[in-house]
Chains A and B, each alone.
Chain A
Amino acid sequence: DTEVTQTPKHLVMGMTNKKSLKCEQHMGHRAMYWYKQKAKKPPELMFVYSYEKLSINESVPSRFSPECPNSSLLNLHLHALQPEDSALYLCASSQDYSGRGDEQFFGPGTRLTVL
């Protein structure tokens, strides 16, 4: 199994809603990532988890809250988002980040629209 799965595929939410994005991998990878991708732009790194601990937060606003319940799961909790947060949110995983062979596998993404 070389897949990273993400749910939901699409999400529409209001600015006062609370929602969560989910990501799962069963490749035994120990590093997991959240990226944000705007149309026609490259992915922008948001968070990195390594061995279930948050290792990088790229100065992301607190309305985005990541969580790694176990080594296979990664969540992104959303609260009080703004319309400019509308984007494709990508999850990725890699064996680990420190050595060679650390190719990142990407999920299909969640297309988020904030009204």
Chain B
Amino acid sequence: AQSVSQHNHHVILSEAASLELGCNYSYGGTVNLFWYVQYPGQHLQLLLKYFSGDPLVKGIKGFEAEFIKSKFSFNLRKPSVQWSDTAEYFCAVKPIGSEKLVFGKGTKLTVNP
């Protein structure tokens, strides 16, 4: 069965620190990859997505992610976090041709001012 692993349950950073959240998936075929963010009390929003092409994708709010096919990884990065980035971050994988979007368990990011 497909699965998505997010390595960090809770990450605490100070403003201006750099961020990297890990995401690995287990699926041998072609996949679409996503990072969603859920700010406190708000709905899931798409941060960025990878379908094909350049493995380094840029999303909203200064976030980027790199797809490394050989490592089945899609890590999320941001060079300098802000207090407003405090949220829950979900990595998700969707095999091509499948109806199912498989989510990781999420990483809670707390940014202290």
Contact = CB atoms under 8 A, between A and B. Distances in A.
B58 to A, nearest CB: 15
Contact of A102 (B45, B94, B104): B94
B99 A106 contact: no
Contacts of B44: 43, 90, 106
Contact of B32 (A42, A43, A50, A102): A102
Given A42-B106, A100-B32, A108 B43 contact: yes
Contacts of A55: 99
Contacts of A48: 99-100
A60 B30 CA distance: 28
Interface string A39-60: 0111101001010000110000
A103 B100 contact: no
Contacts of B36: 106
Contacts of A97: 98-99
A39 to B, nearest CB: 10
Contacts of A40: 88, 106, 108
Contacts of A42: 90, 103-106
B17 interface: no
Interface of A: 31, 33, 40-43, 45, 48, 50, 55-56, 90, 97-109
Interface of B: 32, 34, 36, 42-46, 49, 51-52, 88, 90, 94, 96-101, 103-106, 108
Given A41-B105, A107-B43, 15 more contacts: A31-B99, A40-B108, A42-B105, A45-B101, A48-B99, A48-B100, A97-B99, A99-B96, A102-B32, A106-B36, A106-B43, A106-B44, A106-B45, A108-B42, A109-B43
